Structure 1
Amino acid sequence: MKTLIVTQYFWPETFRINTVAEALHRAGCEVTVLTGQPNYPDGTIFKGYRAWRSDRELHPAGYEIFRVPLIPRGKKTALTLTLNYLSFLASSILVGQWRLRKKEFDVVFVYGTSPVLQALAGAFFSARKRAALIVWVQDLWPESLSATGYVKNPYILCGVAGLVRWIYHRCDLLLVQSRSFVESTCAMAGEVPVVYYPNPGDVERTPPERPRNPVSLPSGFNVTFSGNLGTVQAVETIVEAAEHLRDEPHINFVIMGSGSRLGWIQQEIKRRALANVYLLGRVEPEVANDAMARSDALLITLKNVESLKKTVPSKLSTYFGVGRPVLACMDGEGAEVVRASGAGITCESENAERLAALILELRSMPQEARDEMGMAGRRWYEKHFELMQLTDVLVDHFKQAMNGRDLKYTKETMGDGQ
């Protein structure tokens, strides 16, 4: 099955689509990726890449990646983000059609993170190549725009909602990463089918060997956060919880990742003289997974925003997969998954005092109880988030979308003949 993946973000940036692309390749799909020059989350182009170059690259797994020029995110102002989004949209269509001119595809698969604009490129290639169009919705638009605080104008949000409807109506199938997304997406999708398809984990069935350069963790009870350090992650809650526990011996907050709020965290650690927060920076996924497996608890935090209550952060499946207790400081669907699985304990978003109390509660539990939480998460992972199992499901979705598009095309042709 010839599959074009359209995504603004891709390896070596750390996104779940990296794992999905490799899994599809392993499952026998002929995968091609159309993406931009890597610059997420810090806003600077990665070493070895150029913002204005158009490249063909072979992934180590063996599939093709076509990179198009874009304007980097920079300091992540509203202006630089807008230019970043629009430049990828323009070059993915203008440069992408030249790069892909000799290729045919059965499926165009759009990794639907913010911005939704990249789905326009997917719609373009779907029409040009007569391929089924599938968008995997990771963020609800326009809700995500208001959640980040970058756009509050109701007229702009209304216009974005109209654009989302236009895109969704041209899809053959819409996949959503959270069950709570289904109702909102259906309201914009018209007659296009909407199906729940979660973010798979990236943890192997058989534990891999230790990485060559594992990170060193401090001694004591380590609460580890891994991932993007942005606005929606409510990193203020982590810093405030660390301050609440500053006098508790041997409780450490280990943070792996980078993002727009990293500078603020560094300033607050210095200003508050926090000796219990350790910043490890960006690390490779296998190194992060190894560090998480050696941690005592895994932390996930989100802002108290209505739209975020519907999301299930992609890191949650990986947290479950490594088999350590989860501390979830968030509301809604993600918190419900943690409670239903028995993999950890939860509190409401942005409640640093309550989070600190939960950390003390977890530390006071017998080791056997904490281990059982981790094993419950692993069992949930194997049942609901295991990568190759979900890849088989995804390939079936591709086939159904192709069959539905063929049937629709046949009916339209017969109608024109009449």
Structure 2
Amino acid sequence: MNVLIITQYFYPENFKSNDLAFELKKKGHNVTVLTGLPNYPEGKIFEGYGVFKNRKQVVNGVRVVRSLLLPRGKGGGLRLFINYYSFAFFASVKAFFMGLNDKYDAIIVHEPSPITQYYPALLMNKLWKIPVYFWVMDLWPESLSIAGGVKNKWILNYYEGVIKRFYKNSEKILITSQGFRKSINQKGNFDDKIVYFPNWAEDTISEGNKNFPIPPLPEGFKVMFAGNIGEAQDLESIMKAALELKDKKEIKFILVGDGRKMPYVKEFIDEHRLQETVFTMGRFPVEAMSSFFDKADVMLVTLKDDPIFNLTVPAKLQAYMSASKPIIAMLNGEGADNVLDADCGFTVSAGDHKSLAKTILETSALSQETLNQLGQNSRKYYENNFRLSTCISNLENIIKK
């Protein structure tokens, strides 16, 4: 097949769109990616890229076409709005000329957010009837209201109308969580279009180099949180749990990653003198995660108690499972159900920091044999449900049908 992937985020940015494109290419398809100039998450155009630099590339056999956009900067509301719509506009112009010059069998829109990434695909669908497969990883306008803090009814109603149009023009709507189905069907009768298409873990994590050089970690029972340190991840409750366990010096919280809440985390550590039990490692490349995970005793996944997050399965959950690690989950909904179904760890309600602290303390007292068994259960569940090659094979079948 000749496949076009449209996404605002692509290599060297670290998103699932990378695996999607490279794996489809490995399976023998011609793959083109229409994307923007890389600038996530720092908000500045990456070195080596620009208006006249690397606008067209071939990466691992995948043709990459980059449209102009205004970088996201520090992520303020107006700047993000311009970032989103500048990509949508310039990518649509690119899409028009690409549609004139090339014939595509399918378009896949990778949408972690924003939904405006769909506009170039909509243009090509209308002009050349190319079927669009909409991979929904973030629900709009719910995400705009809850995570973005937008309360204006006119704006929310406008984006509800936009997303309805996108759903209507999609051949299939691919969802990463079964919980998304209800929200999508509330916007129209789209059930026959919805297909469950879960996240996977990168092979660099599940089969990566455990000797990748990383900083030394403290001795003790290591509770590791890896990934985005943002609003959705409820760092307030994690820090409160760490404070509850302040006197349990053998328990070490290891935070690997960065994000908008990192200044809050560092201030909390200083204010409550948690330097002996909470450690912020900073951001590392995905290649380093296998080495970090190997040294953890248990992995921590959290989301705030919110209707939209209760429908979400965090992508880090699959990564933790692929690394054969026991998991403590402080979240509600399908993510917690996955941990229970896999019998790979323990769950507490979203926002319940006291139960989180209690569960961590109890888990630290388990034998290594028990922890190893929970880790094996994690890996088994991953093998059966979240392998990259299996997911992409399922996608091939969805498109071919």
Would you say same fold, with TM above 0.5? yes
1:117 aligned partner: 116
**8 A contact 1:215–1:287 mirrored in 2:** no
AA of the residue aligned to 2:118: A
**8 A contact 1:56–1:65 mirrored in 2:** yes
Q: Structure 1 CA distance, aligned partners of 2:99 and 2:262?
A: 38
AA of the residue aligned to 2:265: I
Structure 1 residue 23: deviation in Å?
A: 1.4
1:234 aligned partner: 234
Structure 1 residue 212: deviation in Å?
A: 4.1
2:27 aligned partner: 27
Task: Give the SS at the match of 1:312.
Answer: coil
Instruction: Give deviations 1:103-154, integer Å, cap 9, x for gaps.
Output: 2211100012211111122212233443210001111111111111431112
**8 A contact 1:136–1:174 mirrored in 2:** yes
Moved more, 277-286 or 106-115: 277-286
**8 A contact 2:99–2:124 mirrored in 1:** no
Q: Structure 2 CA distance, aligned partners of 1:51 and 1:335?
A: 44
Change in 2 beyond 3 A, CA 1:212/1:335:
closer
Change in 2 beyond 3 A, CA 1:339/1:97:
same
Change in 2 beyond 3 A, CA 1:189/1:136:
farther
Change in 2 beyond 3 A, CA 1:123/1:199:
same
Matches within 5 A, 1:374-385: 374-385=375-386
2:64 aligned partner: 65
2:309 aligned partner: 308
**8 A contact 1:51–1:70 mirrored in 2:** no
AA of the residue aligned to 1:302: L
Matches within 5 A, 1:54-203: 55-59=55-59, 61-98=60-97, 101-191=100-190, 193-203=193-203
Task: Give the SS at the match of 1:117.
Answer: helix
**8 A contact 1:39–1:72 mirrored in 2:** yes
Q: Structure 2 CA distance, aligned partners of 1:358 and 1:140?
A: 31
Task: Give the SS at the match of 1:8.
Answer: coil
Structure 1 residue 206: deviation in Å?
A: 7.6
**8 A contact 2:340–2:346 mirrored in 1:** yes
Structure 1 residue 75: deviation in Å?
A: 2.0
Structure 1 residue 48: deviation in Å?
A: 2.5
Structure 1 residue 155: deviation in Å?
A: 2.1
**8 A contact 1:42–1:260 mirrored in 2:** no
1:396 aligned partner: 397
Moved more, 143-152 or 320-329: 143-152
Q: Structure 2 CA distance, aligned partners of 1:357 and 1:212?
A: 33
AA of the residue aligned to 1:146: S
AA of the residue aligned to 1:145: L
Q: Structure 1 CA distance, aligned partners of 2:224 and 2:94?
A: 41
Instruction: Give deviations 1:347-379, integer Å, cap 9, x for gaps.
Output: 111222221111101101111111111111100
Q: Structure 1 CA distance, aligned partners of 2:211 and 2:128?
A: 42
AA of the residue aligned to 2:81: T
**8 A contact 2:301–2:329 mirrored in 1:** yes
Structure 1 residue 51: deviation in Å?
A: 6.9
2:40 aligned partner: 40
Structure 2: 5+ residue runs without aligned partners? none
Moved more, 179-188 or 217-226: 179-188
- Asked whether 1:367 is paired with 2:372, we answer no
Structure 1 residue 62: deviation in Å?
A: 2.0
Q: Structure 2 CA distance, aligned partners of 1:366 and 1:359?
A: 14
**8 A contact 1:227–1:315 mirrored in 2:** yes
AA of the residue aligned to 1:8: Q
Moved more, 281-290 or 323-332: 281-290
Change in 2 beyond 3 A, CA 1:131/1:25:
same
Q: Structure 1 CA distance, aligned partners of 2:36 and 2:48?
A: 14
Structure 1 residue 53: deviation in Å?
A: 6.0
- Asked whether 1:355 is paired with 2:352, we answer no
Q: Structure 1 CA distance, aligned partners of 2:382 and 2:369?
A: 20
1:274 aligned partner: 274
AA of the residue aligned to 2:198: P
Q: How many residues align structurally?
A: 399
**8 A contact 2:242–2:253 mirrored in 1:** yes
Change in 2 beyond 3 A, CA 1:77/1:204:
closer
1:4 aligned partner: 4
AA of the residue aligned to 1:90: F
Task: Give the SS at the match of 1:349.
Answer: coil
Q: Structure 2 CA distance, aligned partners of 1:238 and 1:295?
A: 17
Task: Give the SS at the match of 1:288.
Answer: helix
Q: Structure 2 CA distance, aligned partners of 1:49 and 1:396?
A: 35
**8 A contact 1:203–1:322 mirrored in 2:** no
Structure 1: 5+ residue runs without aligned partners? 401-418
AA of the residue aligned to 1:106: D
**8 A contact 1:110–1:136 mirrored in 2:** yes
Q: Structure 2 CA distance, aligned partners of 1:328 and 1:297?
A: 10
1:406 aligned partner: none
AA of the residue aligned to 2:197: Y
AA of the residue aligned to 1:271: E
Structure 1 residue 68: deviation in Å?
A: 1.6
Structure 1 residue 305: deviation in Å?
A: 0.8
Structure 1 residue 20: deviation in Å?
A: 2.0
